[in-house]
Amino acid sequence: MIFDWLRAKIEEFRSQSIASKRNQKNISQIEDGTYRDASTFSNSKFNDEYDLACGILKRKLNEHFPDNYHASSCAGYDPQRDYSSERSEAIDKSSSAISCALRKGSGVNHAVELGLKSIGL
């Protein structure tokens, strides 16, 4: 009886020691930026969908919100107008709408539509 209790305490101590070492290893890897755990840091699907949605949206933005360089070759170019700031505001609004939609589980096409609606297109 006492041997069973002692054996159980030794096994408990060993398992706690192993878990503590594993946790310390994980902590040092997280601090170094080398820790990868699929259950904790699984944003690859989100990142892929976000990149795809932003790529689709970028084509529309290039048509309606050119930057200063590309706007200079368009008809009706106004040198007093800051095209880049309008473009950056449109990118900010649309990218936040896309990320919110994807986080809520929407598909890529729906996220792009919401991004376009957020900037009035």
- Domain range summary for the chain, segments of one domain joined by +: 1-34, 44-118
Q: Look up tokens 């890529």; give the residue.
A: 108
DSSP-derived letter for residue 75 is: T
Residue with more model confidence, 104 or 77: 104
Side-chain half-sphere CA neighbours of 79 within 13 A: 0
Provide the pLDDT for residue 88.
84
Provide the pLDDT for residue 89.
87
Cα 88 from Cα 65, distance rounded (Å): 9
Region 108-114: mean pLDDT is 89
Region 4-14: mean pLDDT is 88
How many CB atoms are located within 10 Å of the residue 57 CB? 23
Provide the pLDDT for residue 102.
86
User: Which tens digits make up the pLDDT trace of 77-100?
Assistant: 666 677 677 878 888 898 999 988
